[in-house]
Structure 1
Amino acid sequence: MLSNQLYDEQKVKDVAMLAGRILLESGAETYRVEDTMTRIAEFYGLHNTHSFVTPTAIIFSLNEKSSTRLYRVSDRTTDLEKISEVNEISRAITSGKVSLEAAKMALDILDKENLQYKFWLKVLSSGIVSLLFLFMFDGSPSDAIPAFISGLAGYYICEQIGAYFKIRFFAEFAGSVVIALIAIACVQYFFSESVDKIIISGVMPLVPGVPITNAIRDMMAGQLIAGITKGVEAALTAFAIGAGVGVIFIIFGGTL
């Protein structure tokens, strides 16, 4: 009986850790990760659980006698579809609609799936976003094409460099450099009017909006370490974007 109980606890821990890992890797708030893991464990009668989640690690223990598990998270992205799917599976578990084995199988399948949009569609969308921001900032129609191209090219460079060079914040720096170069070239050699509005519109797809929001929500939920960490990460990302634009302005004498 004891061996069966330990085996069941290990299966509960497997499901809780897998659900938490998918959430954290998909960009969920740390308090949501902890809450999901705790609710799954509590449904199976394991009330004395302990979890500690940071943006880069998950530590989880069912009780004092159970072994503690640690999972290191190195790659994080923003995948709201996966977050939604994990939430649905978690609700199905806590409402008794699925068994532990079926939930584990569903999470395994979800973990291997790529639910993000196609890369070309994300690149195209970034250009459209930049174009819309230009008009929101009361930009000139002559700046529309440069804003679209700069947003598209900046996002493309950022994603490509981020995929091949695992150096934090360098991808955003390179993307903003490309955006500034395109804006300056279009104003100098074509009929564009406003360098600043083109650049501001172009960098909008690179702005870390989700990390900033998650940092605030974690802080409000009492997750001070995670909130501060995400806030610093978002601030450094914004600094890298500004530094890329600033370097180009310095090179060109800052007279544009």
Structure 2
Amino acid sequence: MDEAQLVMDTALLAGQILLANGSEIARVEDTMQRIADNAGYRYANIFVLLTGITMSLPDGESTQVRPIHSRTIDLEKVAQVNTLSRQFASDEIDLPTFYQQLRQIEVAVPTFPFWLQELAAIVVSMTLMVAFTGIDAPVKLLFAMLAGGGGYAVFYYVNHELRVRFLSEFLASLVIGFVAYVGIRWLGFTHAAGDAVIIGALMPLVPGVPIMNAFSDTMSGNYLSGPARAVEAVLSVCAIGLGIAIMVSLW
């Protein structure tokens, strides 16, 4: 592989990892540009959209396109790519080493096991229910724990087994609404307490990073990717809201 091709492959792979794991468009473009600059190829042509990356080098013979088929949130991978980029800029690693380490990051499985993610969802559900509503009765905390844990478990497994976009949010919100419905119907919770359980349990599902990335991309002038991210986040919110609305209609 010649040097120019290696530079393109390295920059494209870095951009692909960043974009597929929750980075904003401006960071992707800046990182790829810095990789090309530090490799001696200034003024590289880079065009990044939410679903693909296009790159060519000055006086190069070809242009390459790297499609992005799926996106998730893994900020640890984003941080690892940024660290490698800085090491390459400071000559701590050479270009072939940079590329090989990027390939290892690309295939790496998530660091945190399901049980730890489930525990985090439970803790977030209980603490944010108290923070947002002020309700801290033990039985209601227990229901927030059940709703948050159950909803996140459904969200996790539907995403990994079916891979149908927005279905996981919809089914998870159904589970959360059902747990709140049980508390109201059978244990005499007030509607305010049921709402509190739902509010806390939904927090692990809220697409906070996509919403912030949509705002960031739009403010930085990416008028295609910014609104596209916003639509994606809105559809996730609609799926969550539809599941809750169906269960609330039973009250």
1:211-250: CA deviation from partner (whole Å, max 9, x where unpaired): 0111111112111211111111111111110011111223
1:136-185: CA deviation from partner (whole Å, max 9, x where unpaired): 12114131100111011001101111222222111101100110001110
Show the 5 A alignment for 1:1-12. 7-12=2-7
CA separation in 1, counterparts of 2:14 and 2:97?
13
Answer yes or no: is 1:182 the counterpart of 2:200. no
One-letter code aligned to 2:134? D
**SS of match in other structure, 1:224:** coil
- Give the alignment partner of residue 51 of structure 2, picking from 42, 48, 56: 56
Mark the runs of 5 or more structure 1 residues left unpaired by the alignment.
1-5
One-letter code aligned to 2:32? M
The aligned residue for residue 138 of structure 1 is: 134
Deviation at 1:114, TM superposition (A): 2.1
Moved over 6 A (4+): none
The aligned residue for residue 212 of structure 2 is: 213
Deviation at 1:115, TM superposition (A): 4.0
**SS of match in other structure, 2:224:** helix
1:95-118: CA deviation from partner (whole Å, max 9, x where unpaired): 222111111121122222224311
TM-score by length of 2: 0.94
TM-score by length of 1: 0.92
Identity score, percent? 35
Mark the runs of 5 or more structure 2 residues left unpaired by the alignment.
none
- Give the alignment partner of residue 125 of structure 1, picking from 114, 117, 120: 120
CA separation in 2, counterparts of 1:115 and 1:98?
25
CA RMSD in angstroms comes to 1.5
- Give the alignment partner of residue 173 of structure 1, picking from 149, 166, 170: 170
One-letter code aligned to 1:88? T
CA separation in 2, counterparts of 1:49 and 1:159?
39
**SS of match in other structure, 1:101:** helix
Deviation at 1:187, TM superposition (A): 2.0
CA separation in 1, counterparts of 2:142 and 2:187?
11
Deviation at 1:44, TM superposition (A): 2.0
> Are the counterparts in 1 of residues 181 and 247 from structure 2 also a CA contact under 8 Å?
no
